[in-house]
Amino acid sequence: MEQTSSIRKVKQRDLELILGVLKGQIGEMYFGDIKKEVDDICAGKAIGFVAEMNGTITGYVCCRKRVEVAYLETIAVKPRYQGKGFGRRLLEEAIETIKKEYPDIKVLNVITDTDAHKTIGFYLKNGFEISGYVSDEFIFGVRQAHLVKIIR
């Protein structure tokens, strides 16, 4: 059986499946934030896509315009689908959409914990550069890396 994959815009009905992608990868205390992301995507206030393989959601991305830059809020791929290009394709689709919808945006920013080596590796492999570090920004005692990608 041939496997087919695709990237499509997030729909409201995708929320529970998106939470399934994120389960075990982010704390469930953030699921309310993900619900708000999905609501905002559906209301046109954010950009979001899901990756699918044979009708199963395998990944999710959400970006948002913030002042003069875009911010990558969430990107995740189910562990069994990681390393197969879904994250890269989600990121590319988000960047292309940012370029079309916000032609003045030149930069995509993201923040992640400094001990998330695999995540940082993904960003570096996809053209991001580390622009700085900060402690206690989201969680007291946790150090984060700020990364930036020039998209124009």
The CATH number covering residue 103 comes to: 3.40.630.30
What is the model's pLDDT at position 3? 65
Is the pLDDT at 2 greater than 60? The verdict is: no
pLDDT at 97 over 80: yes
Out of 48-52, 107-111, 123-127, 138-142, pick the least confident.
138-142
pLDDT at 1 over 50: no
CB 29 within 8 A of CB 22: no
pTM over 0.85: yes
pLDDT exceeds cutoff 80 at 111: yes
Tens of pLDDT, residues 40-96:
999 999 999 999 999 899 999 999 999 999 999 999 999 999 999 999 999 999 999
CB contact at 8 A, 35 and 17:
no
* Averaged pLDDT for residues 106-122: 96
Q: Please state at what angle helix 15-22 crosses helix 31-42, rounded to 10 degrees.
A: 140
In terms of C-beta density within 10 A (0-12 exposed, 13-18 middle, 19 or more buried), how is residue 3 classed? exposed
Rounded distance between C-alpha atoms, residue 145 and residue 99, angstroms: 24
Q: Which region, left, alpha or beta, applies to residue 75 given φ > 0 means left and ψ of -120 to 50 means alpha?
A: beta
Mean per-residue pLDDT, 98-127: 97
Owning domain of residue 10: 5-150
Per-residue model confidence as pLDDT tens digits over 10-37: 999 999 999 999 999 998 999 999 999 9
Count of domains observed in the chain: 1
